[in-house]
Amino acid sequence: MERLKTKVCGITFNNPVITASGPSGNGEELNKLIDISKLGGFTSKTITLNSKIGNPPPRIINVDGGMLNSIGLQNDGYIEFKKNTVPFLESLNTNIIASLGGYDSQEFEIMIKELNSTKIKAFELNLSCPNVSKGGAVISQNPNLVYEVVKNAKKISKKPIFVKFGIENVDELVENTVAAGADGVTLINCIKGMKIDINTGKTILKRKIGGLSGPAIKPIALATVYKIKNKYPDLSIIGMGGIMNFEDALEFMMAGASLVGIGTGVMIDHEIPVNIIKNLNNFLLKKNKKLDEIFSSAQEV
């Protein structure tokens, strides 16, 4: 499918469809169900300096139009990740993007230094997890810290840096991210949401508020991608938020995304990413169009 090949931040992707960080974990289970090497790329679950057990359950529930999660960055920490997971990820014949989370600039620097020597193609700094709050842990709540983290990460990283944000304060955060020299942004992370059990009168998620993902957030995600691409036409964007089929993927690319991430969709039906690739190819063939004619077409007046 030569038609779907694309280059983003110097990396060649066989197609623009990648996994969003999170729902696919580190890929071991997904790779038993689909051939991950058929995807343009795979983004691993956010790792942190130290292992985290995450938030208490219930922490994933279905809601109208999607899903609410309050996982809280459960992971084994970067040392275990490098030892146990990176070899598997490196064995996949696709681009690997490692998602990193942290509390300050130094934590990111330590992880980047350690992972610079791997075959990971790019880093995605997840500065916007909606489910951690301890001591201002959400870096995206502090635009100056965002600048510092990205600037320092760029200094030491041997690989392109993407930075992931939600919708809160996204304009200022992207401005600082671009000023700090990031290669791209990932838009959007989940949007804060809640569900209440009317019989008990209590929230269903133990942590009360979680991150809403899935089709419910798609129009918001799309408008955010459009808005940021409009302001920064040269910035690479990984677009995500409720992409369930090739039509959704096309909309994101037409709005300004260079790559599209599938998160919740993989949980609903693990075939969704491969179906999107197949149908995108058929669409371009039928319309006799190149991907380049699709990208950012909605930006044109």
Residues annotated catalytic, as ranges: 129
Q: Site residues for ligand DOR, window 153-192 (CB under 6 A)? A: 189-190
Q: Is 230 helix (H, G, I), strand (E, B) or coil?
A: helix
Q: Site residues for ligand DOR, window 219-278 (CB under 6 A)? A: none
Candidates 128-136, 154-162, 170-178, 254-262; binding stretch for ligand DOR (CB under 6 A): 128-136
Closest distance to ligand DOR from the beta carbon of 126 (Å): 5
| Location of structure tokens 């084994």 | 76
Q: Using alpha carbons, select from 257, 204, 265, 271 the residue that is nearest to residue 227.
A: 257
Is 73 annotated among the ligand-binding residues? yes
Is 139 annotated among the ligand-binding residues? no
- State yes or no: residue 211 binds ligand DOR (CB under 6 A): yes
Q: Site residues for ligand DOR, window 52-111 (CB under 6 A)? A: 69, 71-73
Q: Name the residue nearer to ligand DOR (CB basis): 62 or 299.
A: 62
- State yes or no: residue 126 binds ligand DOR (CB under 6 A): yes
Determine the residue with CB nearest ligand DOR.
Answer: 211
Q: Where are the beta strands (DSSP E) in the chain?
A: 6-8, 11-13, 17-19, 41-43, 60-63, 66-69, 95-100, 122-126, 161-165, 184-187, 191-194, 196-197, 202-203, 209-213, 236-240, 259-262
| Location of structure tokens 């995450």 | 54
Is 220 annotated among the ligand-binding residues? no
Dihedral sign, CA of 111, 113, 119, 123?
A: positive
- State yes or no: residue 131 binds ligand DOR (CB under 6 A): yes
Tokens of 25: 């974990």
Is 214 annotated among the ligand-binding residues? yes
Q: Using alpha carbons, select from 104, 77, 60, 92 the residue that is nearest to residue 204.
A: 60
Q: How far apart are CA 286 and CA 279, in angstroms?
A: 10
Residues that bind ligand DOR (CB under 6 A): 22, 46, 69, 71-73, 126, 129-131, 189-190, 211
- Annotated binding site: which residue ranges? 21, 45-46, 69-73, 126, 164, 188, 214, 241-242, 263-264
